[in-house]
Amino acid sequence: MKQITVPFLVLLAKALSGATVRWVDCQPDICQRVYFANHTSHLDALVLWASLPKPIRARTRPVAAADYWRGGPVRRYMARAFNALLIDRKKIKIRNSPIDMMLREIGDTQSLIVFPEGGRNHTDQMKPFKSGLFYLAKKRPDLELVPVYIDNLNRVMPKGEFLPVPLLSCISIGAPIWLESGEGKNDFLKRAEAAVLKMKDH
């Protein structure tokens, strides 16, 4: 079943979003990465995941909000099909933090797609990044942190709508960054934001 529906969903996501994928200063690679992107639409995770080359897609897991993706059988099925890593946004505890769970789940083969803004954004300005990305980088300094800017997908399916309008969108994937030694949390998050915004104007 999954063999049929996944290619179909990938095709659908590509057709609806009309997404062009630009690899700017970055090449597709199966090494362990964290793709971090701006978040404006429910389609973000699916489209970004679908636009990765197949071998990379097979080992990349979008991190998504459990409260949305567990709501209803269709979403639950889709989350499973896309191999999503569901995070409960409401019950974040220090002991069993989502970061530890993500790192445990990916082991030393899989990559992640995260949206550090923490929720969908419907303004022109990007929201400040949450600290999760920093802790990911601190605990696993070997992970390549790849900035991604998703353009125009918010018009395909804005917040609060459930019918998509198939316009054209663009996904720009930039050069990876790493946590510098001694770099503070705020500085790092600022730098990560700037890396995503750089892809916007590129």
Partner 1 sequence: MQHFLATFQNTAAAETPVAQPALLDFWTTVMMLGVLVGLTILLVIGQVLKRQPESNFDPAIIRNFNKRVITWLTICVLLVMSLLFNKIVTVVLFALISLWALREFITMTPTRRGDHGTLFWLIVGFTPFQYYMVAMNYYDLYTIVIPVYASLFIPGRIAFTGDHKRFLERSAKIQFGLLICVYALSHTPALLYLDLVYWDSEAQKHLPWTGKTAGLLFYFIVVVQVSDMLHFVWDRLAGKHIIAPAVNSTKTWEGVIGAACCTALFGMLIQFATPFTWYGAGFMALVISVMASSGSMTMSAIKRDRGVKDYGTLVQGHAGVLDRIDSVCFAAPIFFHATRFFLNAN
Q: Which residue's CB is nearer to partner 1, number 22 or number 130?
A: 22
Residue 41 contacts partner 1 per CB under 8 A: no
Residue selected from 158, 175, 191, 198 as contacting partner 1 according to rule CB under 8 A: 158
22 binds partner 1 (CB under 8 A): yes
132-139 vs 185-201: helix axis angle to the nearest 10? 110
β-strands 111-114, 20-23 pairing: unpaired
Answer for which of 53, 119, 141, 166 binds partner 1 (CB under 8 A) is: 166
- Tell me: does residue 11 bind partner 1 (CB under 8 A): no
**177 phi/psi in degrees, rounded to 5:** -120, 160
Pick between residue 159 and residue 190 the one whose CB is nearest to partner 1.
159
Closest CA to 177 of 145, 132, 137, 139: 145
Q: Is 155 in the site for partner 1 (CB under 8 A)?
A: yes
Could you tell me the smallest distance in angstroms from the CB atom of residue 166 to partner 1?
6
